[in-house]
Amino acid sequence: MFRLDGKIALITGSGGGLGVGVARALCSQGAHVVINDLNPELAEQTSTMLCAEGFASSAAPFDVTQRGAVKESVARIERDTGPIGILVNNAGNAGGQKYTPTPFVDMPPDLWERFIAVNMTGVMNCTQAVIGGMSARGYGRVITVSSTAGRVGKSINVSVYGAAKAGAAHFMRHLSQEVAKDGITANVISLGFMNTMSEGFAHKIIAQIPAGRVGMPEDLAAATVYLASDEAAWVTGATLVVDGGYTPF
Ligand SMILES: NC(=O)c1ccc[n+]([C@@H]2O[C@H](COP(=O)([O-])OP(=O)(O)OC[C@H]3O[C@@H](n4cnc5c(N)ncnc54)[C@H](O)[C@@H]3O)[C@@H](O)[C@H]2O)c1
């Protein structure tokens, strides 16, 4: 079950961070994984590493916030490698810059625009670049990595990030209705606190996670493989909450 043989998967922001684990998991299920990142060196390094592990992978550096570059890159991938059947909208956070939680009252508009650009507009840019081809071929999987911050309000100074994540998630729900007839699913993973947090913050937050630990890349990877699989064909417009029980319901 859950094999992805013959599928081409584009994972945004997978040169570093959690996306690397997602890429390895999709590869090990048989997919050819295209590693996107803002940072060309990271994209190349991760793709080279996966190839050295015996997997099928290539690199496609571009900035998801730049609509023209996204369109051109997707066209190039589809010409050189083949049709993209799986899109994982993973690039997010503060868009390649240090993520410093900031109270909204102090937040300059250029900072909130950056959060919205990468976490919401970037999702739309990438989705629109692949969705026409998916519809024409009658098959597609669009998976957007959102956050518990996009489902519940929290006093951790992430209001704009949370708003952008909520926007991307709701975009998936509506999109799922438009494209279901074409064999395309569009789903959301609402991700909780992960092992990428600073140790001090993780220590404080673990006490509030019923499972008693932060999330690992493998937790996100397994959820992504499931939603990407043929077995999840009847799952669309859904939000899979992967957060150790932090936000039940
Ligand atoms: N880490 C967490 O605790 C956590 C929790 C919930 C949700 N998330 C979400 O999970 C996803 C992955 O998180 P992460 O911590 O691995 O991210 P990260 O900040 O480590 O970034 C991963 C990669 O994305 C690339 N990137 C950033 N902006 C980009 C852009 N505009 N275009 C292309 N690539 C870009 C970066 O260069 C980096 O290599 C994000 O969407 C994030 O919002 C993370």
Domain ranges of the chain: 8-242
Ligand 1 atom nearest to CA at 64:
32
Section 149-158 average pLDDT: 95
Confidence check: pLDDT of 191 > 90? yes
Section 201-227 average pLDDT: 94
- Confidence bin at 197 (pLDDT 50/70/90): confident
Of 10, 12, 18, 165, the one to substitute when testing ligand 1's pocket (max ligand atoms within 8 A of C-beta) is 18
Ligand 1 atom nearest to CA at 220:
10
Q: How far apart are CA 193 and CA 189, in angstroms?
A: 13
Beta strands in the chain (DSSP E): 8-11, 32-35, 57-59, 86-89, 140-147, 184-191, 239-242
Ligand 1 atom nearest to CA at 165:
43
As annotated, the active-site residues are 161
Contacts of 149 (CB under 8 A, 6+ apart): 156, 158, 161, 162, 165
Ligand 1 center from residue 18 Cα (angstroms): 7
Q: Residue 175: what pLDDT? A: 98
The model carries a pTM of 0.98
Q: Who has greater pLDDT, 198 or 170? A: 170
Contacts of 40 (CB under 8 A, 6+ apart): 59, 61
Q: Residue 210: what pLDDT? A: 97
**One-letter amino acid for residue 147 of the chain:** S
Confidence check: pLDDT of 202 > 90? no
SS3 state of residue 145 = strand
Q: Residue 91: what pLDDT? A: 98
Q: How far apart are CA 148 and CA 163, in angstroms?
A: 11
Q: Residue 132: what pLDDT? A: 98
Confidence check: pLDDT of 199 > 90? no
CATH number of the 8-242 domain = 3.40.50.720
**One-letter amino acid for residue 113 of the chain:** E
Q: How far apart are CA 136 and CA 155, in angstroms?
A: 44
Contacts of 237 (CB under 8 A, 6+ apart): 172, 173, 176, 177, 180, 186, 187
Q: Which strands, in side-by-side order, build the sheet including 57-59?
A: 57-59, 32-35, 8-11, 86-89, 140-147, 184-191, 239-242
Q: What is the pLDDT of residues 43-84, one digit of tens each?
A: 999 999 999 999 999 999 999 999 999 999 999 999 999 999
Q: Which residues line ligand 1 (CB under 6 A)?
A: 12-13, 15-19, 36-39, 42, 63-65, 90-93, 95-96, 118, 122, 145, 147, 191, 193-194, 196-197
Ligand 1 center from residue 136 Cα (angstroms): 30
Q: Residue 224: what pLDDT? A: 99
N-terminal to C-terminal alpha carbon distance within the chain:
27
Confidence check: pLDDT of 203 > 90? no
**Mean pLDDT computed over every residue of the chain:** 96
Ligand 1 center from residue 173 Cα (angstroms): 21
Of 20, 67, 93, the one to substitute when testing ligand 1's pocket (max ligand atoms within 8 A of C-beta) is 93
Contacts of 96 (CB under 8 A, 6+ apart): 38, 39, 118
Q: What is the pLDDT of residues 90-137, one digit of tens each?
A: 999 988 888 889 999 999 999 999 999 999 999 999 999 999 999 999
Ligand 1 center from residue 181 Cα (angstroms): 31
